[in-house]
């Protein structure tokens, strides 16, 4: 994207954005509600027209790309649709017929962990299982690029971690993935890089470890003094301070903790400053 812009009336939903996503990476787009994530992704998917700027996705402009380009792109929306009376196998097989070089439906069903539900009607699936079916429909065409829009919203922690393993397998097979999520731990677990969008503008792009200078931020060391009071120090040399405390207290310093800014700390600071 170069100079990407989309306005609604006087409001710029996407405001002069430049961004590159590398082939083969998992890229997470973070931002509060209304920041412009969905508008940007829909432009990249070819669903929405832009007002200005240049966009190239897999070497083509999605605004006028044809069926050949669409067959190379997989999309998992927040809800693909309802197929209440069809079985999982029937739905995946139907969608496979829409692509020129689709994967084997049984293979895809196994990849998303639904083999034991292949003959179940979709109305009987749990929320997490329906989300797996959504992903199956997004990948059955063997996409080079997969868009995931808040894929684990509403998942319980166990289902979310199972879904993460699926995404890791897809990434390991070379699929480029653009992910939008409100779960920072999801971005930290999956993304090679993240971008933060606030009020239509990208305010930062980096790895989760380096975002906002996390790796260079001072560590906070906290311990308990003999009188019971808690003491805190911010330092760029926490190992030296911990060693000093160990000598001072003859071994273990009571109540010792060492922490650095979390991804959430950095993210909240960014979206607060950008609003």
- pLDDT in single tens digits along all 275 residues of the chain: 999 999 999 899 999 999 999 999 999 999 998 899 999 999 999 989 999 999 999 999 999 999 999 999 999 876 656 788 999 999 999 999 999 989 999 999 988 889 999 999 999 988 778 888 888 899 899 999 999 988 887 777 887 888 888 889 889 989 999 999 888 999 999 999 999 999 999 999 999 888 888 878 888 999 999 888 999 999 989 999 999 999 999 888 999 999 888 888 888 888 885 55
Are the C-beta atoms of residues 104 and 159 closer than 8 Å to each other? no
Instruction: Identify the H or E element spanning 106.
Output: helix 105-111
pTM of the predicted model, to two decimals? 0.82
Q: State the distance between the two ends of the chain, measured CA to CA, in whole angstroms.
A: 22
Phi and psi at residue 130, to the nearest 5°: -65, -35
> How far is the C-alpha of 43 from the C-alpha of 73, rounded, in Å?
13
Q: Which token pair is 192?
A: 């090679």
Sheet containing 2-8: order of strands: 11-17, 2-8, 52-54
Q: Which of 225, 198, 226 is nearest to 212 (CA)?
A: 198
Q: Which token pair is 245?
A: 């405390």
CA 23, 78, 200, 191 dihedral sign is: negative
Number of other CB atoms surrounding residue 65 within 10 Å: 16
Cβ neighbours for 243, distance < 8 A, ≥ 6 positions apart: none
Break the chain into its structural domains and give their ranges: 2-207, 213-274
Q: Which token pair is 255?
A: 């109540």
CATH code reported for the domain at 2-207 = 3.40.50.300
> How far is the C-alpha of 181 from the C-alpha of 161, rounded, in Å?
14
Question: Cα 273 vs. chain centroid, distance in angstroms?
Answer: 22
What is the DSSP-derived secondary structure letter of residue 13? E
Are the C-beta atoms of residues 141 and 74 closer than 8 Å to each other? yes
């Amino acid at each position: 994207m170069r100079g990407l812009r989309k306005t609604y009336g006087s409001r710029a939903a996407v405001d002069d954005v430049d961004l590159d996503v590398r082939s083969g990476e998992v890229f997470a787009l973070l931002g509060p509600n209304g920041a412009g994530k969905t508008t940007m992704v829909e432009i990249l998917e070819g669903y929405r027209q832009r007002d200005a700027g240049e966009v190239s996705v897999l070497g083509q402009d999605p605004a006028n790309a044809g069926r050949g380009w669409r067959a190379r792109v997989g999309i998992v929306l927040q809800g693909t649709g309802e197929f209440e009376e069809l079985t999982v196998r029937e739905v995946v097989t139907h969608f496979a017929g829409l692509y020129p070089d689709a994967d084997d439906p049984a293979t895809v069903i196994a990849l998303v962990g639904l083999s034991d539900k292949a003959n179940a009607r979709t109305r009987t699936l749990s929320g997490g299982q329906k989300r797996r079916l959504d992903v199956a429909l997004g990948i059955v065409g063997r996409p080079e690029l997969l868009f995931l829009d808040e894929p684990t919203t509403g998942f319980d922690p166990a289902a979310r971690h199972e879904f993460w393993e699926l995404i890791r397998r897809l990434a390991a097979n070379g699929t480029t993935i653009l992910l939008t999520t409100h779960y920072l731990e999801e971005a930290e677990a999956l993304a090679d890089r993240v971008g933060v969008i606030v009020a239509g503008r990208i305010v930062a792009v980096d790895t989760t470890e380096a975002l906002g200078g996390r790796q260079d931020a001072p560590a906070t060391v906290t311990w308990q003094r003999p009188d019971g009071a808690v003491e805190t120090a911010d330092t760029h040399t926490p190992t030296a301070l911990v060693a000093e405390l160990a000598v001072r207290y003859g071994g273990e310093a009571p109540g010792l903790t060492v922490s650095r800014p979390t991804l959430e700390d950095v993210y909240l600071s960014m979206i607060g400053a950008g609003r």
